Structure 1
Amino acid sequence: MQLIQLKSEDPQVRLVFADIDRLMNRLYPIASDQSLSLEELNQPNVYAVGLQNDEGIVACGAIVKQFDKRLYGEIKRLYVKPSYRGKGLSKRIMQILLHYAGEAQIPLIRLETGINQTEAISLYESLGFERCERFGFYRDNPLSVFMSLSISGS
């Protein structure tokens, strides 16, 4: 598998984002969607990566530099195609994103996920994330789980 940067003009990125949107729309009401858009991918505050093989992009994720009283990075669009789940790819993407955060001196990582994504919540907890209060522009939502991780040494 090859690590690639995600760019909005890549047809493979468009396909995987469509897969993510279909999944989220099955799990949650459309009004709950606060995903990173294709257009936002090319912004300078976004670091988005994917793992690609001859079948296309099979896993992806992004970190978005944000500021709310202090600098933080928000994890967005963590996804693994169903046929590749259970192979540690989401953990690999998260490790790449967390390494980037350390290199970029981002002291705090935050994320919002949904209550129906129990495997994702377990992954985040295994990486040291803890549940926290809502942040940024998120509203209170009983379907949301907010988590954060302080990066030591930053």
Structure 2
Amino acid sequence: MEIRVVAFDHPDAAKLTAEVQQEYVRRYGTEDETPVDVAEFAPPRGLFLVGYLDGVPVASGGWRAHGESGNVELKRMYVVESARGRGFARGMLAELERAARAAGGRGVVLETGTEQPEAIALYRSSGYREIPAFGYYGDQPESRYYGKDLVRD
């Protein structure tokens, strides 16, 4: 998989973001309503990546600054169904962490949910630990929150 930096509103990023939103609808009954601004994913306070296989966009993920803590928040991690099980999510996660660390990020935080057991398994196996709830879905019982220290890990 070739990973490229793209704008959050790039056509390939928009396509994958629309697909992940439909995945949320299938799993939770609604799209992710967390407020997101295109500018949040622009360097130096953010980044969005798309992974390509033979020129076709198959994976995405981004990070944006999370307050003034020095942490970044992961958003829109996704792999198309036909490309799952090949390690692309793990590769995307590693590249997002590398880029965040290079940009001065001290840690990564994220929110996922109980209907995404494969995401929870990925994060746990990648060194993420449970953290207190935050953000738009902070009061939702099906939400799960994880974080990882980029300075030590």
State the TM-score, normalizing by the size of structure 2. Answer: 0.87
C-alpha displacement of 1:138: 4.3
Aligned length: 153
CA contact (8 A) 1:114 1:144 kept: yes
State yes or no: 1:77 paired with 2:76: yes
| Alignment partner, residue 62 of structure 1 | 62
* In structure 1, C-alpha distance between the alignment counterparts of 2:9 and 2:122, rounded to whole Å: 30
* In structure 1, C-alpha distance between the alignment counterparts of 2:132 and 2:9, rounded to whole Å: 35
Equivalent pairs: percent with the same residue?
Answer: 27
Cα distance per residue 1:35-74 (max 9 Å; x no partner)? 7455654475221111113452101111111225x22110
Cα distance per residue 1:6-61 (max 9 Å; x no partner)? 22443222211111111111111437532745565447522111111345210111
Question: Where do 5+ consecutive residues of structure 2 fail to align?
Answer: none
Question: Where do 5+ consecutive residues of structure 1 fail to align?
Answer: none
* In structure 1, C-alpha distance between the alignment counterparts of 2:29 and 2:37, rounded to whole Å: 17
| Alignment partner, residue 47 of structure 2 | 47
Q: Aligned ranges for residues 93-112 of structure 1 at < 5 Å? A: 93-112=92-111
User: Residues 23 and 37 of structure 1: is their aligned pair in 2 closer, same or farther, counting only changes over 3 Å?
Assistant: farther
C-alpha displacement of 1:123: 0.5
User: Residues 134 and 61 of structure 1: is their aligned pair in 2 closer, same or farther, counting only changes over 3 Å?
Assistant: same
| Alignment partner, residue 22 of structure 2 | 22
- Residue 112 of structure 1: SS of its match in structure 2? strand
* In structure 1, C-alpha distance between the alignment counterparts of 2:41 and 2:101, rounded to whole Å: 20
* In structure 1, C-alpha distance between the alignment counterparts of 2:21 and 2:139, rounded to whole Å: 21
Superposed CA RMSD in Å reads 2.3
User: Residues 41 and 99 of structure 1: is their aligned pair in 2 closer, same or farther, counting only changes over 3 Å?
Assistant: closer
User: Residues 8 and 101 of structure 1: is their aligned pair in 2 closer, same or farther, counting only changes over 3 Å?
Assistant: closer
* In structure 2, C-alpha distance between the alignment counterparts of 1:37 and 1:79, rounded to whole Å: 18
* In structure 2, C-alpha distance between the alignment counterparts of 1:81 and 1:98, rounded to whole Å: 21
Q: Which amino acid aligns with 1:60?
A: S
State the TM-score, normalizing by the size of structure 1. Answer: 0.86
Q: Which runs of 4+ in 1 moved over 3 A?
A: 35-44
